[in-house]
Amino acid sequence: MNSVIEITRAKQSNLPQIDFGNLQFGSVFSDHMFAMEYVDGSWQNHRIEPFGAIEVHPVSASLHYGQTIFEGLKAYRGPDGQIRVFRPEMNHQRMNSSCERMCMPKIDEKTFIDAIQQLVHTDRDWVPPGEKQALYIRPVMFANEGQLDVRPANRYRFLIITSPVDSYFGMNTVAVALKAEEKFTRAIQGGTGFAKAGGNYAATFLATNEGRKEGFAQILWLDGVEHRYVEEVGQMNICFYLDGKLITPQLRGTILPGVTRDSVLRLVNDMGIECEERLIDIQEIIDGSMNGTLQEAFGCGTAAIITAVGSIGYRGRKYEINCGKTGPLSKKLFKQIIGIQRGEIEDPYGWTKVIPNH
C-alpha cells in the first residue's frame, strides 16, 4: 500500500455505538474518509481524515449544474478473518469513463486503489462479519469552484466514504416486484446513461416513488425512444433466463456497465449456458412469463448482488416469474459470487484484493 497518504485518526471511534445486527443500507458511516483536491491541473493533498461534514462552495457546478459522479463497491470479511475488496479495477475504469463524459479530471488506478486499500485497512473493524453484510465503499467526485459560468469547473474534490451495510433489499428478501415504466425515461443514446452521474439517479425518483405506492420495489426501465426495449432496474442490471439462455440488455450507452453484470456473464458462460447481450422487447418477456419459457429473472449489482425478480407489472397487470420464487440459477450465482467475495471458494479470476491485516 502507498505510504504517501497522510492519515489523521479520529479522536474517538463511533464503532461501539453500531449494532451490526440491525444495519440499514447507507445509514451509518465509519470513522474515516479519504479526501483529495484537484487544483492547478493535478490531484493534491491525499489524506485520510475523520469522517464529517465538508465545505462546498455555494456556487459550485456540482450544486447548480450536476457536475458530480460516484462509484460503489464493497469490502467483505470472510470466515478466515481476511478482508477482500471485489474488482476495484473495474470500478476505477468505470469512474474514469464517467469522468470523461462529464468533463472531469481522471484519477490514475494506483491512486484510486491505494486510497481504497488504506481506508479499508484504517477502518477494518467496521467490516461486518455476516454473509450478506459488507463495508460499502462510495467514491464520489464533484466540482467545487466558485463560478456560475456554464462550463466544466477547474477545481474538484474527491472523497471515499465507507458504510457497513446489510443486503440492499433486506436480509429476508425472496423475490422483488418490478414495474415496467412507459411514461418516464431514464436515459437515451448519446446521453449520460452509462455514467454514474448524480443526475441519472435523481431523475428516477418520481417514477420509483409512484411505483412503490403501487407495491413495486423498483422500476424496470424501458428505452427512452419507444418505451419498448428493456434497459435496467433502478439500482441494478437485469438478466432473464429465457428458454435455456441467459439474456441481458446490450451495452449501447444507455445503461450502466455493471461490475456484477460482467461477473455474471463470465460465470454463466463458464457454466456452459449460452449468453446473449441484445435488445430485449418487453413483450418477449411478458410472452415468456405467460407461456412458461421465462424460467427466471434477476437483478445484479454491487448493492443487490443477485436479487431474484418474482413479478413484473406492465400496463396494469402483474406477470409472475417462477411462481414468484428465487430460481436455481439465481441461487447458484449468488452463492458463487458471495463465495468468491468472502473467500469461501476459490477465486480463479483474480477478482478479489486482500487487505493486509497490518
Amino acid at 294: L
Model's pTM, two decimal places?
Answer: 0.95
16, 88, 208, 321 from 134: Cα distances, Å = 18, 15, 25, 29
- The rounded distance, in Å, linking the Cα atoms of 92 and 33 is 18
What average pLDDT score do residues 253-278 get? 97
Q: For residue 2, name the pLDDT band (cuts at 50, 70, 90).
A: very low
| pLDDT of the residue at 169 | 65
pLDDT in tens, 7-19: 999 999 999 999 9
Other CB atoms within 10 A of residue 118 CB: 22
Strand partners, 281: 229
No. of H helices and E strands in the chain?
8, 18
pLDDT in tens, 51-88: 999 999 999 999 999 999 999 999 999 999 999 999 99
Nearest-5° Cα angle at 91, 88 to 93: 110
Q: 322, 326, 319: which is closest to 305 by C-alpha? A: 326
Concatenating the DSSP letter of every residue in 208-231 gives HHHHHHTT-SEEEEE-TTTS-BEE
Those residues with Cβ within 8 angstroms of residue 316's Cβ, 6 or more apart along the chain or in another chain: none
| pLDDT of the residue at 24 | 83
Q: 284, 180, 179, 300: which is closest to 242 by C-alpha? A: 284
Concatenating the DSSP letter of every residue in 108-121 gives -HHHHHHHHHHHHH
Q: 47, 49, 89, 72: which is closest to 138 by C-alpha? A: 72
At residue 335, what are phi and psi to the nearest 5 degrees?
A: -65, -40
pLDDT in tens, 296-343: 999 999 988 999 999 999 999 999 999 999 999 999 999 999 999 999
Nearest-Å Rg of the Cα atoms of the chain is 21
At residue 186, what are phi and psi to the nearest 5 degrees?
A: -90, -45
Give all domains of the chain, ordered by start, each with its CATH number. 6-165 (3.30.470.10), 176-326 (3.20.10.10)
Those residues with Cβ within 8 angstroms of residue 21's Cβ, 6 or more apart along the chain or in another chain: none
The number of angstroms, rounded, from the C-alpha of 287 to the middle of its chain's C-alpha atoms is 30
